[in-house]
Chain A
Amino acid sequence: MAESEQKNENSAGFEREAETGDPAAQADAAVEATTADAESAMSSSGTSAAPVDSAAEAADRPVEAAPVEVPESFTVTLIVRRYDPEVDDEPRWVDYDVQMYQTERILDALHRIKWEQDPSLAFRRSCAHGVCGSDAMRINGKNRLACKALVKDFDISKPIYVEAIKGLPLEKDLIVDMEPFFDSFREIQPFLQASGKPEKERHQTIAQRERFDDTTKCILCAACTTSCPVFWTDGQYFGPAAIVNAHRFIFDSRDEASQVRLDILNDREGVWRCRTTFNCTDACPRGIQVTKAIAEVKQAMLTGVKL
């Protein structure tokens, strides 16, 4: 071990006195009060207000602090389309009453059902904040990510209907087979194709980078594709998500295979079947202008890619 001064300060400002009461207990209370649990959030933090000795340094700008409402709970009825292939011949709708808070989401409601009422309910989820694409589902007839659908945005005087996304084979409860969806994605050659190996990075102007920014946001959640009436009636249709990902490369100035992808899409009338119903754009949780991207790909087929 290296010889060095014993007892270095961990860092400035953290020498804490033993006689300031019981810091651990204070830490407890503070931690408890910051949990997502509304009950504990309402309990007192147990810390006493110390005089603020640095009021003079206070921010010069008049900025609104966020208003904080005292959380109030209410009952929401969810009607979930359940299906267990090992038991059920047909899917069935099942009602659940759940206690919810203003700031919570449909995913919280589903967890409450799974964790407190019926652990057999099956659904996918991971990140819980709209970035992984696991939990696209049909909520009151519209495709949403359960983790981004806030309960307060629904009319809770009526039940909320939750079912699996449509157009992909139903596996169990809210879970569908994603393979056909990913197959379409893989078919459009979703990877950069560029010749030569530069010594460092390939250059790209800010404007060139901006050209395909919107379609880089896709998280492959399938909300768009499974809201598309053309996809429902024709499972062979590539679907909006595959076209969005083709767009991401077609308009990337570094890529040299745009024409290949346009040909793939053209071959199976990939883009031409789009009837511009805008369902996909409405469904996209990442706010991607899906219909616009499809239109740009159509345009590129007719007039070539303009970068």
Chain B
Amino acid sequence: MADHSSVTDGIHYHQHDVVIVGAGGAGMRAAIEAAPKASTAVITKLYPTRSHTGAAQGGMAAALANVEEDSNEWHTYDTVKGGDYLTDQDSAEILTREAIDAVYDLENMGLPFNRTPDGKIDQRRFGGHTRDHGKAPVRRACYAADRTGHMILQTLYQNCVKHGVEFFNEFYALDLIMAEVDGVKRVSGVVAYELATGEIHVFQGKSVVFATGGFGKIYKTTSNAHTLTGDGVGIVWRQGLPLEDMEFYQFHPTGLAGLGILLTEGARGEGAILRNASGERFMERYAPTIKDLAPRDIVARSMVQEVLDGRGAGPNKDYVYLDCTHLGAEVLETKLPDITEFARTYLGVDPVVERVPVYPTAHYAMGGIPTNNDAQVLSDNETVIPGLYAAGECACVSVHGANRLGTNSLLDINVFGKRAGNNAVAYAQTADFVDLPADAADGVVKMLAQLREGEGTESVAEIRKALQETMDRNAQVFRTEETLQTALADIAALRERYPNVRIHDRGRRFNTDLLEAVELGFLLDLAEVVVVSAINRKESRGAHMRDDYPTRDDVNYMQHTMAYRTDAETGASQGIRLDWKPVRVTHYQPTERKY
């Protein structure tokens, strides 16, 4: 289905029934549903196969019960408990029920899963996934060595090629156009910047799907790619739409110390053990039943606690060890080959014979653009914006609550990516295009001109570094009112400097200097929302651990944070209004979280 496009006043205009922003797992899973049924455009700032879904290692959860007894009800329970009871339980039920078909879909599309001796999809253990409500770890993660995300991304791209999906590669979406029709706010299109030429493109769409991934680059030590700057979440935020649960940011326990490069939890699933400086298996003290396979928030905190208590390893006692030495070369080379190589290449440490220095690394945004179970974006606690969808890490359904379980995100992008694609098509088949306002591209043109032509002296790289450092120091695994206020003040100071950034590349073609400045703007906006939401939640729950409020407080805080941008800026700070949204509870009442 051809792209209908025209050029007016130097701006390119395109029209498609469905416009998808992002070509990671979520965006391409949506495209595979949409493209065969409606004219579909996928706008992506990276070539699809370079999306960060490809970095995912360990696996995708589904209660297939291929290797031992399992049920999706157990999976739901684990997801709710893992999320520290902030998970919306009806959403989690959908996630775990549709997990099974999501895995079969991928296998049928060609994904080369590892196999059991009888030829079925093999499954491995992962943190927080248990048999019969916490009795013991269960084999639920379907995997392809330690490159499951790579195989998902490749398989989805391959199927997009098969369906002739139309991609606009290295196009950066920078704005969302909405308009009121009969008093209802509806979606009209997306404005994008073409990296190769510097030209502006307006994509009119009946439905628009955001699938732009996470924003790990607000932190310094992170498993996230340089390109994960939260553009989509930032675009939606700037439209005055709410963001949900932004204070819940997950730190993965096992990043390579000092680098943040991830070593999958699948390593612990295969039997690797965390040890402190003296060699003690310290997780036995924090989670006596499932030990090293406790959920990530608990393991990450335990590791930091060990370091704070002086039991860290290394010259500065500032990391712990992941011990894989007893797994043997065979397991490491066949089931965990990539991470074995990462440790060798980047730390010069051979996991076959040496313990690997590890420390928590910023990993995953539980929060994001609020959606309902149909992947429709919400403008408040209930109201949907007709035609606007979000899925994947940029969205918050919320299936992950206060802490995502490993292997539930690759699942999320497939289940809710598919739902987003299907629903976007269904909507496009009944709806009309919403007229684009004449000035649709003006906001982006003006923003870029201001940045490109500014005569300031500030460096994008310096501001970004300062932001990442204060976030690492003050809004990481443990937080207090004081550290968060420090972060907030630092962010305000950086926001004040931001308008004076200097772009050195004044050209049009492949101006990555300009784009890094734009991305920094999104990072600054989102970091502030994270910190303000974190200050407001005076309890500890899941990944949000307040040292000054160390317990969970279900009476006051068993609800989602909803942050709105208002016009009430003060100085460089954005106006942010906070509200709450109830958690949807079906079967599981909150209880103390013990493992």
Contact = CB atoms under 8 A, between A and B. Distances in A.
Given A12-B286, A45-B312, A129-B261, A7 B553 contact: yes
Interface stretch (B171-179, B344-352, B441-449): B344-352
A10 B552 contact: yes
B550 interface: yes
A61 interface: yes
Interface stretch (A92-100, A192-200, A261-269, A296-304): A192-200
A252 B110 contact: yes
Contacts of A200: 104
B478 interface: yes
Interface in A27-60: 27-28, 30-36, 41-45, 47-50, 52, 54-55, 57-59
A216 to B, nearest CB: 5
Contacts of B220: 35-36
A8 B510 contact: no
Contact of B119 (A10, A57, A204, A255): A204
A48 B304 CA distance: 14
Interface stretch (B130-138, B380-388, B500-508): B500-508
Contact of B307 (A10, A47, A120): A47
Contacts of A213: 112, 145
A115 B461 contact: yes
B339 to A, nearest CB: 10
Interface in A141-156: 148, 150
Interface stretch (B67-75, B200-208, B221-229): B221-229
A27 B354 contact: no
A57 B280 contact: yes
Interface residues of A, number: 107
A132 interface: yes
A66 B347 contact: yes
A144 to B, nearest CB: 12
Contact of B504 (A58, A118, A206): A118
Given A24-B480, A64-B354, A198-B108, A32 B162 contact: no
Interface string B218-259: 001100011100000000000000000000000000000111
A84 B511 CA distance: 10
A119 B464 CA distance: 14
Interface in B306-365: 307-319, 321, 323, 325-326, 338, 342, 345-349, 353-357, 359
Interface string B91-122: 00000000000011001111011111111110
A1 B54 contact: no
A203 interface: yes
A209 B112 contact: yes
A10 B295 CA distance: 13
B456 interface: no
B54 A132 contact: yes
B311 A50 contact: yes
B47 interface: yes
Contacts of A125: 226
B464 to A, nearest CB: 8
A70 interface: yes
Interface stretch (B5-13, B405-413, B569-577, B581-589): B581-589
B285 interface: yes
Contacts of B354: 63-66
A19 B555 CA distance: 27
A55 B591 contact: no
A41 B259 CA distance: 11
Contact of B513 (A120, A171, A182, A205): A120
Contacts of B304: 27, 30
A134 interface: yes
B379 interface: no
A292 interface: no
B1 interface: no
B323 A63 contact: yes
A306 interface: no
Contact of B554 (A6, A123, A197): A6
A47 B225 contact: no
A31 B251 CA distance: 12
Interface in B507-538: 507-513, 516
Interface string A81-125: 000111100000000000000010000000000111011101101
A132 B590 contact: no
Contacts of A64: 353-355
A132 B55 contact: yes
B496 interface: no
Contacts of B547: 16, 23-24, 27
A84 B298 CA distance: 50
B247 to A, nearest CB: 14
Interface string A212-240: 11001111100000000000000000000
Contact of A86 (B319, B355, B509, B512): B509
Given A66-B349, A131-B55, A205-B115, A4 B590 contact: yes
Contacts of A203: 115, 118-120
Interface of A: 1-2, 4-16, 23-24, 26-28, 30-36, 41-45, 47-50, 52, 54-55, 57-59, 61, 63-66, 68, 70, 84-87, 103, 114-116, 118-120, 122-123, 125-134, 148, 150, 171-173, 175, 178, 182, 186, 189-192, 194, 197-198, 200-206, 209, 212-213, 216-220, 249, 252, 254-255
Closest 5 interchain pairs by CB? Answer: A192-B110, A115-B461, A203-B119, A59-B279, A120-B505
Given A59-B323, A87-B507, A213-B145, 18 more contacts: A8-B590, A13-B286, A14-B545, A27-B477, A31-B473, A34-B221, A35-B469, A45-B317, A50-B311, A57-B280, A63-B325, A63-B355, A114-B461, A120-B505, A126-B225, A132-B46, A172-B509, A201-B113
14 contacts: A9-B552, A11-B594, A12-B595, A13-B287, A27-B308, A35-B472, A36-B221, A45-B312, A68-B314, A119-B460, A131-B150, A201-B121, A202-B107, A204-B119
